[in-house]
Structure 1
Amino acid sequence: MLVLAWPMALTNLSQMALLATDSAYLGHLSTEALAAVTLSGTLFWTMLAPGFGLSFAAAAMLAQERGRRIGHVRAMRRTLRAGFWAALLGAVPGMLLLWNGGAVLRALGQEPALAEAAEQFLRCMLWGILPFGLFLNLRGLMAAMERPWPPLLIGLMAVPLNAMIGWVLIFGNLGAPALGVRGAGIAGAVADTAMFLALALFVVRDRRLRRYRFFGRLWRLDLARLARVLRLGMPIAAQMLLEIGLFSAVGLAMGAFGAQAVAAHAIALQIASITFAVPLGLAQAATARVGLAIGAARARAAWRAGWTAILLSTVFMGPMAALMLLLPGTLAGLFLDPAAPGAPETAALATTLLLFAGLFQLSDGLQVVGAGALRGLHDTRAPMLIAALGYWGLGYTVALALGFPLGFGPAGIWAGLAIGLAGVALAMIWRWARLSRRGGLTEGRRLAPIAG
């Protein structure tokens, strides 16, 4: 599990580093610029949910197909091709909505100046949605092939590329015009496109992967396989949309407390997202390992893979929680220039929010790993319902109640987040324990029909 998971976790961290770089640049530019990109990020990540969900479905299918061995070459080629078509279907509506992101944000009650700056960022960043969705499909393929290193190396190379382009275009260095938030959007879109092209080139040129001819006849629309990807992936996409939408809605709610509250929320969320990258990598590895075991009819191996990922997530997120609880002020200070207008107030509020982030670290790790293990069983509908009830029925309801009527403000909203994540984590782990107990103790018994 570690051999597969830690390169995938580092790949996630490299992608988080792209966002962290932009946030650090814009935080030093102005609090308003950071707040604008944070608001645009609420919409951008929401529109990425279909791409994430459909790529995770393709990854789970690829893993089971490779585990079966018999006829797996043609099956995997069909699934990857269907995953590419699904990424296209998921990207186009999101790109159209993001082009009008400013109007959407104004309709949601955000300040006109922040909405206009956010739209400038989104109209540049949206061109990276489709390449990023395609990259996610290829990364799922590499997980199924148990070769996580190429996506990691490519992701690491994208970090300095994004940082260099952002440094030039945001601040106007090396004679370039100072584009501010638009420069950050251009840098992100270029980095996403470069990651896909580099990984596609590797798949085409690699000696072990060349025989699969993964890019053969990409224009052919395999409706049957596309329907399978959509049937498995839409609940995952809905679950991702519910989770991303929760944090997006919280970001929008923060706008009611002003630009400093939005900036503090951005800092705390960025730090929590960095630690979240590790259990997300474990979840992706759990999907691959559970799927490979199910495809090979090795139920006990699937049981071991899921519980190993859950244990490793707990081992990692425990110290991360302690770090946020003990050093919140130090962490918040990394993202702000003390001399910038409004920086002291933003830092103080970010410190408070990081305390709540520390409280939900264990829950956040457990819920994503539990969902990843269940995806390896092709169990996606129940996790979607768990997410709907836990994130929105419990978490967001409590967040709004604490934040507004009860008067706890931004801190109350983040307390609601912690409560919602705890509920989802308990439910996900309970479902995995139930399904793996029913089928996972008898070697050779397939779990996928049980989960279905």
Structure 2
Amino acid sequence: MKLATYTKEFAYNIKLAYPVILGMLGHTLIGVVDNFMVGNLGSTELAAVSLGNSFIFIALSLGIGFSTAITPLISEADAEKDDKKIRTTFHHGLLLCTVLGVFLFIVTVLSKQIMYLMHQPKIVADMASPYIDWVAFSLIPVIMYQGYKQFADGLSETKYSMYAIFMANVVHIFFNYVLIYGVWIFPKMGVLGAALGTVISRIMMVVFLHLLLQHNKKFSTYFKNFSFREIKKSMLRKIINLGLPSAMQMLFEVTLFTAAIWLSGSLGKNSQAANQIALTLASSTFMVAMGLSVTAMIRVSHSKGKADFKEMIVVARSIFLLAIILETIFGIFFVLFHTYLPHLFLNMSDSAQLLDNQEIIGITAQLLLVAAVFQLSDGIQVVVLGALRGLQDVKIPMYITFVAYWLIGFPISFYLGKYTELKAVGIWIGLLAGLSAAALFLYIRFARISRRLVIQNGN
């Protein structure tokens, strides 16, 4: 096929992807605002929030991964023009997201005792404990929000969730400011104020998205006459069978990167700081790939619903190609500016920090060169995973991601990081190996399934 066959799909791919990317940046901004405002209180408070959020992040990744089951089912029903199927998928999906949010809230609160087993400073753990209680409660509205979001995404309307997140960020900044510092009639609550600000903003995020969708003509019909009598075990089972493997896929990747943070910490504070800077930069470009992954899930499941598998292959390849182009640009950017970018995260005017800063810059610069290469691997694996979710193929990809990240990536990270002179760079070479293995095996899986579907359906 000619290159133009794929490039003519780019405009629509970007139209679907950019609201998802901006929405994810909105999610990230909530954490950035917490860190910035709490950082002004002191290093102990900042450490407490960072520690607390590491627990929340793992639970959140499970909730987000599970909710992705809703999108391909909705998109397929939309292609079939089956309004009843769309409505029932939405109602069952939202119910399951709500139940999962409550479950993750309880488990996160119960698991906070692990902080004390991790040999964290007692003063930090004591401060993080009530913070976790409150922010864990916000998992309920944020995973409910995911239920609404995946429903709208399935109907190819990705911008409404972006609007809701932006409005929630305004609420978050206001309540964080007045509750952390005690402005006007509000009490000065410090770290707890940051937690409460997050809870309020996430509740409002669901409210905003519910109102935006309910009062929109395209969506309003699906909001009428919800009844528990309509809930069927078969539909619940279908969503759970898609959602649980998707949640585990996300968990395997998130925990691999969390393990990399802990491994870097065991090498010393400068290695950990360098790891955090490089990870922040790599994560920001990864959001573009995540946006394209959602686009792949929507468009592939829509083609599947129409039973047009040749179109599906063209659409999927156009998204893969767009991801490769964009991630290559990001990789070149990291290579060109690998020695400059670390300066943006450090106080270079502090003479007392001069030696530490030089070491951090040296390590981060090397990590960014590795990150430049794994931009491609990471981008490819996540968009192909999106395409496979669009085909509702999740169980084999779950096993693939486990093998790639934990049987290939982590052992290499552990050995090179702990037992060779590569240290932090060795940890990231392990990440690169895991992501590359995932990208290769997942692509082979997609190519085989799509080819088989074309042959079986003769189109």
TM-score (norm 2): 0.87
Is this contact kept in 2: 1:58–1:79, CA < 8 A? yes
User: What residue is the counterpart of 2:51 in the other structure?
Assistant: 39
Give the whole-Å Cα distance in 1 for the aligned partners of 2:41 and 2:432: 31
User: What residue is the counterpart of 1:448 in the other structure?
Assistant: none
Give, in angstroms, the shift of residue 25 of structure 1: 4.0
Structure 2 counterpart of 1:423, which letter?
A
Structure 1 430/254 Cα, relative in aligned 2: closer, same or farther at 3 Å?
Answer: same
Give the whole-Å Cα distance in 2 for the aligned partners of 1:342 and 1:68: 65
User: What residue is the counterpart of 2:253 in the other structure?
Assistant: 243
Is this contact kept in 1: 2:101–2:141, CA < 8 A? no
1:69-95 per-position Cα deviation (integer Å, ceiling 9, x unaligned) = 1xx222112111221222133223321
User: What residue is the counterpart of 2:317 in the other structure?
Assistant: 307
Rg larger in 1 or in 2?
Answer: 2
Structure 2 counterpart of 1:317, which letter?
E
1:402-413 alignment to 2 at 5 Å?
Answer: 402-413=416-427
**Quick check: 1:153 aligned with 2:163?**
yes
User: What residue is the counterpart of 1:419 in the other structure?
Assistant: 433
User: What residue is the counterpart of 1:94 in the other structure?
Assistant: 104
User: What residue is the counterpart of 1:430 in the other structure?
Assistant: 444
Specify which of 385, 401, 412 is matched with residue 371 of structure 1. Answer: 385
Give the whole-Å Cα distance in 2 for the aligned partners of 1:43 and 1:221: 32
Give the whole-Å Cα distance in 2 for the aligned partners of 1:23 and 1:326: 29
Give the whole-Å Cα distance in 2 for the aligned partners of 1:284 and 1:378: 13
Is this contact kept in 2: 1:42–1:251, CA < 8 A? no
**Quick check: 1:162 aligned with 2:176?**
no
User: What residue is the counterpart of 1:138 in the other structure?
Assistant: 148
Helix, strand or coil: the match of 1:300? helix
Give, in angstroms, the shift of residue 431 of structure 1: 1.5
Structure 1 counterpart of 2:400, which letter?
I
Is this contact kept in 1: 2:26–2:169, CA < 8 A? yes
Residues 316-325 or 115-124, more deviating: 115-124
Give the whole-Å Cα distance in 2 for the aligned partners of 1:34 and 1:325: 31
Structure 1 170/268 Cα, relative in aligned 2: closer, same or farther at 3 Å?
Answer: farther
Give the whole-Å Cα distance in 2 for the aligned partners of 1:411 and 1:175: 50
User: What residue is the counterpart of 2:232 in the other structure?
Assistant: 222
Is this contact kept in 1: 2:138–2:203, CA < 8 A? yes
Give the whole-Å Cα distance in 2 for the aligned partners of 1:414 and 1:165: 38
Give the whole-Å Cα distance in 1 for the aligned partners of 2:291 and 2:138: 22
Is this contact kept in 1: 2:70–2:154, CA < 8 A? no
User: What residue is the counterpart of 1:80 in the other structure?
Assistant: 90
Q: CA RMSD in A?
A: 2.8
User: What residue is the counterpart of 1:450 in the other structure?
Assistant: none
Give the whole-Å Cα distance in 1 for the aligned partners of 2:280 and 2:194: 16
Give the whole-Å Cα distance in 2 for the aligned partners of 1:184 and 1:341: 32
Structure 1 counterpart of 2:77, which letter?
E
Residues 313-322 or 37-46, more deviating: 37-46
Count of residue correspondences: 443
Is this contact kept in 2: 1:35–1:263, CA < 8 A? no
Is this contact kept in 2: 1:272–1:357, CA < 8 A? yes
Give, in angstroms, the shift of residue 146 of structure 1: 1.5
User: What residue is the counterpart of 2:395 in the other structure?
Assistant: 381
Structure 1 395/371 Cα, relative in aligned 2: closer, same or farther at 3 Å?
Answer: same
**Quick check: 1:11 aligned with 2:23?**
yes
1:195-214 alignment to 2 at 5 Å?
Answer: 195-213=205-223
Residues 199-208 or 164-173, more deviating: 164-173
1:201-350 alignment to 2 at 5 Å?
Answer: 201-213=211-223, 216-217=226-227, 221-258=231-268, 261-328=271-338, 330-338=340-348, 345=356, 347-348=360-361, 349-350=363-364
In structure 1, stretches of 5+ residues that fail to align are: 446-452
Percent identical: 28
Give, in angstroms, the shift of residue 361 of structure 1: 1.1
Specify which of 75, 85, 90 is matched with residue 63 of structure 1. Answer: 75
User: What residue is the counterpart of 2:5 in the other structure?
Assistant: none
Helix, strand or coil: the match of 2:436? helix
In structure 2, stretches of 5+ residues that fail to align are: 1-12
Give the whole-Å Cα distance in 1 for the aligned partners of 2:237 and 2:351: 52
Structure 2 counterpart of 1:39, which letter?
L
Q: Using CA pairs under 8 Å that are at least 6 residues apart, name the structure with larger relative contact order, 1 or 2.
A: 1
Give the whole-Å Cα distance in 2 for the aligned partners of 1:384 and 1:154: 31
Structure 1 343/265 Cα, relative in aligned 2: closer, same or farther at 3 Å?
Answer: farther
Structure 1 320/93 Cα, relative in aligned 2: closer, same or farther at 3 Å?
Answer: same
Structure 1 counterpart of 2:447, which letter?
A
Give the whole-Å Cα distance in 1 for the aligned partners of 2:214 and 2:255: 36
